[in-house]
A and B are shown apart, each in its own frame.
Chain A
Amino acid sequence: MASIPLSHILFVSTALFFIGMYGLFTRRNMITMLMSIELILNSVNINFVAFNKYLYPEKLDGIFFTIFIITIAAAEAAVAIAIIINLYRSHKSIDVEDATELKW
Chain B
Amino acid sequence: MSLVEIIFWFLSGLALISAIMVLLSKNPVHSVLWLIAVFFAISGHYILLNAQFLAIVNLIVYAGAIMVLFLFVIMLMNQNAETEPRSKSTWIKLAGAIAGGCLLIVVVAAVRDSENLIQNIGGKAYAKTAVTTHGEIGLIENLGRVLFTQYVVPFEISSVLFLSAMVGAVVIGKKD
- Report how many A-B pairs have Cβ atoms within 8 Å: 238
Q: Given that A29-B79, A46-B42, A84-B73 are contacting pairs, would A60 and B143 also be in contact in the complex, using a CB cutoff of 8 Å?
A: yes
- Residues of A within 8 Å of B54, CB to CB, are 49, 63, 66-67
B interface residues (Cβ-Cβ under 8 A, vs A) = 2, 4-5, 8, 12, 15-16, 19-20, 22-23, 28, 31-32, 35, 38-39, 42, 45-46, 48-51, 53-54, 57-58, 61-62, 65-66, 69-70, 73-74, 76-77, 79, 84-87, 92-93, 95-97, 99-101, 103-104, 107-108, 111-112, 114-115, 118, 121-122, 126-134, 137-138, 142-143, 146-147, 151, 154, 158, 161-162, 165-166, 168-170, 172-173, 175
16 pairs, A vs B, C-beta closer than 8 Å: A5-B128, A7-B112, A7-B114, A8-B12, A12-B15, A14-B111, A15-B19, A35-B22, A39-B22, A42-B42, A52-B51, A57-B131, A63-B143, A64-B146, A77-B70, A88-B77
- Beta-carbon nearest neighbor of A25 in chain B: B96
Q: Which 4 A-B pairs have the closest CB atoms?
A: A25-B96, A75-B165, A82-B173, A95-B85
Main secondary structure of the interface of B (DSSP, over half): helix
